[in-house]
Amino acid sequence: MTDLPINEAPPLVMHIDLNSCFAIIEQQANPLIRHKPVAVAAYDTPGGMVLAASYEAKRLGIKLGVNVREARQLCPDVIVLMPDPEKYRNAHRRFRQVLLNYTSEVVPKSIDEFVIDFHGSPVVRQGRSLTEVGYEIKAAIKQSLGEYVTVNVGIATNRSLAKTAANLHKPDGLTVIDAHNLRQTLATLALVDLPGINRRYEARLNQVGIYTPLQFLDTDGDFLKKRVFRSKVGMDWYYRLRGWEVDNVNWGRKSFGHQYALSHKTTDKLELSQLLMKLCEKTGRRLRRGGYSAGGIRLWLTFANHSYWGKGQATTNEMYSTQDIYWQAQKLLDQVIMPANVTNMSVSVYRLKVCEPEQLGLFDGSRIDKKALAKATDEVNDRYGEFTLVPAIMASMDDIILDRIAFGNVKELY
């Protein structure tokens, strides 16, 4: 194929991520824990997994994935906190509002990161340097979220290189990657430093003699497509590494789901059924809030012996109400043979279909009245608080399956 040149256009894509998101928001909220090792964990019990660690904790080896017991072994004085999801959602909204002051092309990638496209924005028309704008945004975020909050800014000609740049010089850095310093920057990185290259892809590249990002950059696109990735993914990487955009795609919503790590591990199917109902209620609320029904369901369990069970299936009838989802999920749970205590459970629905507006009475005497009942129940819970009205099986479960925040699911915040 004809060699594709490196994109020499001005870098107008910015990637911003909030450093140690949950931990730094907690430190901002409480000055007494600033400059101290802080870990935000799913649970504050010994087996609770650390979700975020302050930079003081990271320097001691406490990072995502270690449990509270291990964190305390690394640092007996570590401050362990449970998540405060509403605090993080509020920070995310204020973060977003700062960026919208510069351009409308602001895309949330997760609870703590955004991509901003400045093509055609007033900032560019004014002839301002994006580096200058980046430092201005960093200051504005401090003013909005608090003086202890820091962000990393990456600037490049496409999303992938902007994210690569944002991962450099943490915390509180600002890095530009363009045609002039692309090769020098890639020369300092390992393959797994490139967003989207995991250990499996690294092994695949190594098998054909590609060990560094520079070698990756210099490899022919057809070779990457046909020999390395055996799909268009190879050609995407050929364009991506040269600064051309291939990731500005909105794939739309594919599924809704919720998962739960059991604090009390069990094989009791009655107890698991109660947990399952609450997962289905959370999933159903999000499905209905999005304006969808679903035609497929998936149940996933992991066990204390490190095995797992998962199954998905299409459903004959559309699922809309919590009861619809629960009935299908319970049929899957009934099929499970428990090899050990269940440690994690997740439910998701897929094959989404946009719901058409319907004028219905609350109890119309047909199957469709479930939609009206679900809508009425959601309105009560929206007004008076989550789980004000619940199915009987969920009685006395107020503190089970706590409010959680998923890093990648932020569309429902708007």
Nearest CA-CA partner of 153 in 11, 51, 29, 23: 11
Name the 3-class secondary structure at 15. strand
Please check the confidence at residue 409 and state whether its pLDDT lies above 90: no
The confidence score (pLDDT) of residue 377 equals: 58
Please check the confidence at residue 127 and state whether its pLDDT lies above 90: no
Instruction: Give the pLDDT mean for 391-411.
Output: 52
Instruction: Give the pLDDT mean for 65-76.
Output: 94
> How many angstroms separate the CA atoms of 287 and 294, rounded?
8
DSSP-derived secondary structure for 181-229: THHHHHTT--GGGSTT--HHHHHHHHHTT--SHHHHHTS-HHHIIIIIS
325 versus 413: the higher-pLDDT residue is 325
Instruction: Look up residue 124 and give its two tokens.
Output: 């560019």
Q: Tell me the pLDDT tens digit for each residue of 99-116.
A: 999 998 999 998 899 999
Cis omega (within 30 of 0) on the bond before 195? no
Q: If pLDDT is split at 50, 70 and 90, which confidence band does 365 have? A: very low
Looking up tokens 């190594």, which residue turns up? 206
Nearest CA-CA partner of 300 in 339, 321, 265, 329: 329
Assess contact for 105 and 73: CB atoms under 8 A: no
Q: Domains for the chain: give ranges and CATH numbers.
A: 7-179 (3.30.70.270), 181-250 (1.10.150.20), 255-413 (3.30.1490.100)
Q: Tell me the pLDDT tens digit for each residue of 13-44.
A: 999 999 889 999 999 999 999 999 999 998 88
Most confident of the ranges 1-5, 22-26, 117-121: 22-26
Side chain identity at residue 200, one-letter code = R
Instruction: Look up residue 109 and give its two tokens.
Output: 């990638």
The confidence score (pLDDT) of residue 45 equals: 87
Please check the confidence at residue 408 and state whether its pLDDT lies above 90: no
Please check the confidence at residue 82 and state whether its pLDDT lies above 50: yes
HSE-CB at 231 with a 13 A cutoff on CA atoms is: 3
- 81: CB partners within 8 A, 6+ apart: 26, 38, 39, 40, 41, 44
The confidence score (pLDDT) of residue 210 equals: 97
Buried b vs exposed e over 171-194: b needs ≥16 C-beta within 10 Å? eebbbbbbbeebeebbeebebeeb
Total residues found in the chain within this entry:
414
Strand (E) or helix (H) holding 318: strand 308-319
Instruction: Look up residue 154 and give its two tokens.
Output: 């990456």
Q: What is the mean pLDDT of the chain?
A: 87
Q: If pLDDT is split at 50, 70 and 90, which confidence band does 359 have? A: very low
The confidence score (pLDDT) of residue 403 equals: 52
Side chain identity at residue 292, one-letter code = Y
> How many angstroms separate the CA atoms of 322 and 313, rounded?
17
Dihedral, 118, 124, 129, 134 alpha carbons, nearest 10:
-30
Q: Tell me the pLDDT tens digit for each residue of 263-274.
A: 788 999 999 999
Instruction: Give the pLDDT mean for 199-217.
Output: 96
Q: If pLDDT is split at 50, 70 and 90, which confidence band does 143 have? A: very high
The confidence score (pLDDT) of residue 164 equals: 97
Q: If pLDDT is split at 50, 70 and 90, which confidence band does 58 have? A: very high
Please check the confidence at residue 301 and state whether its pLDDT lies above 90: yes
* Residues paired with 292 in a beta bridge: 354
Statement: the pTM of the whole predicted model exceeds 0.75: no
326 versus 370: the higher-pLDDT residue is 326
The confidence score (pLDDT) of residue 3 equals: 81
Angle at the Cα of 184 (from 182 to 187), degrees rounded to 5?
A: 105
